[in-house]
């Protein structure tokens, strides 16, 4: 499944690149529409005018933000458009420090209803999150007004490549309702203590590929929500942050199933978690299946392998009522590295819906703390084991 997704992603990348080369004469430079690279003048209207012209073009086109530093307010880049468009960002665009006028729950830059779209150019989207990190929700509108750096909603057959998202005020990238979208050589950067700055969050989307990318942030490098199907996370360098997570699932009613998640050939370093599946206790019924984690290196990762169906941050749940999210067909293979905590493998499944078809093979995780060896903990699961088992999985079953 992972190889098929990778071939599809590469084919799509080559197709869109060839389209952009053929259409080199259809070129919309935002500076021709009034944008100034002075770092102060809002280029929102210039960008939208250039986009409107490109969107109306009957042939493939390019919209370009040249080298330089630009101020950019909250904008919506919307389709459908008549032909493929490549938005090339060569410079650095900076978000406003003041978000009081931002639409709640919206992104700083939101891409919506586009097909055969490319975002590229080695440019930087700087969210300037340092200005708001750590503020308290009870005193300000901080939580509701914080924008996600980049939103991709209802996109099809699109590529995001070679761009950087820096210091987002909230999530860096949010993917919702998309089909066949690839993130290639994307860099995400924020300090390890920056709150709620997930790298890429994916929900209700099918055929999302994240490959050859680096994610350094203060929360999950990649988080996968309900309704996600056929996702491939390949050759991602993650850390600092909270690792790569499926979930949390089961917080809301009528969540769509998660089906077909592959995380492979990744390196996870200096994170609080490695690869994780988490669901809430006392949850509505749900399912998550065909989740496979393989060929992963863990460097000083505190909790390398986790299934947690008792996920309950801040005691916001009823732990005595088991999770009703059914987990099945999960594998962890060829995972090696180091951990500063003794509990290296945690498989805590629901007593109301025990995990089914869990497989672990060639697990080699070394505890680097003072004394002792790496341990495992298991509940309501009987995994299939093969190859190296360090720690001895479920030897300390609870």
Q: Give the 3-state DSSP-derived string for 6-17, with helices as H, strands as E and coil as C.
A: HHHHHHHHHHHH
CA-to-CA distance for 367 and 357, rounded, in angstroms?
27
Tell me the HSE value of 247 on the side-chain side, using a 13 A CA sphere.
30
Q: Kindly report the number of other CB atoms within 10 A of residue 357's CB atom.
A: 14
Is the Cα torsion angle 190, 193, 195, 201 positive or negative in sign?
A: positive
180: left (phi > 0), else alpha (psi -120 to 50), else beta?
A: left
What is the rounded distance in angstroms from the CA atom of residue 283 to the CA atom of residue 287?
A: 11
CB atoms within 10 A of CB 242: 23
Selected catalytic residue, list 242, 285, 292, 314: 242
Cross-strand partners of 92: 69, 124
Tokens for 101, please give them. Answer: 């006028």
Separation between Cα atoms, residue 116 and residue 300, nearest integer Å: 40
- Identify whether 172 is a catalytic site residue: no
CB 394: neighbour CB atoms within 10 A? Answer: 20
Tokens 């944008």, located at residue: 35
How long is the chain? 398
Q: Residues with catalytic annotation? A: 242
């Amino acid at each position: 499944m992972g190889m098929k997704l990778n071939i599809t992603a590469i084919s799509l990348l080559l197709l869109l690149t060839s389209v952009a080369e053929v259409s080199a004469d259809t070129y919309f430079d935002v500076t021709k529409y009034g944008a100034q690279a002075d770092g102060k003048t809002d280029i929102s209207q210039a960008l939208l005018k250039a986009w409107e012209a490109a969107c109306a073009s009957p042939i493939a086109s390019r919209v370009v933000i040249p080298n330089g530093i630009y101020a950019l307010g909250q904008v919506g880049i919307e389709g459908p458009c008549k032909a493929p468009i490549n938005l090339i960002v060569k410079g650095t665009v900076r978000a406003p420090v003041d978000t009081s006028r931002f639409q709640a729950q919206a992104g700083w830059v939101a891409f919506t209803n586009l097909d055969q779209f490319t975002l590229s150019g080695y440019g930087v989207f700087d969210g300037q999150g340092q200005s708001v990190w750590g503020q308290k929700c009870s005193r300000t509108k901080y939580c509701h007004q914080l924008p996600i750096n980049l939103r991709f909603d209802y996109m099809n057959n699109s590529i995001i490549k070679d761009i950087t998202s820096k210091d987002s005020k909230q999530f860096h990238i949010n993917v919702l309702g998309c089909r066949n979208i690839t993130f290639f050589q994307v860099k995400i950067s924020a300090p390890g203590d920056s709150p709620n700055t997930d790298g890429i969050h994916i929900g209700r989307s099918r055929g999302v590929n994240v490959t050859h990318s680096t994610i350094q942030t203060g929360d999950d490098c990649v988080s996968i929500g309900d309704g996600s199907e056929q996702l491939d996370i390949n050759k991602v360098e993650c850390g600092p942050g909270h690792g790569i997570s499926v979930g949390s699932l089961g917080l809301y009613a009528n969540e769509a199933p998660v089906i077909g998640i592959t995380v492979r050939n990744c390196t996870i370093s200096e994170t609080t978690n490695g690869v994780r599946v988490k669901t809430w206790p006392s949850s509505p019924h749900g399912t998550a299946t065909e989740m496979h984690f393989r060929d992963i290196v863990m460097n000083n990762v505190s909790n390398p392998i986790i299934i947690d169906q008792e996920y309950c941050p801040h005691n916001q749940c009823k732990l005595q009522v088991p999770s009703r999210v059914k987990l099945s067909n999960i594998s962890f293979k060829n995972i090696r590295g180091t951990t500063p905590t003794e509990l290296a493998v945690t498989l805590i499944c629901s007593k109301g819906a025990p995990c089914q078809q869990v497989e672990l093979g060639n697990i080699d995780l070394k505890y680097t703390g003072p004394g002792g060896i790496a341990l495992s903990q298991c509940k309501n699961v009987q995994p299939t084991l093969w190859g190296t088992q360090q720690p001895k999985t479920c030897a300390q079953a609870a």
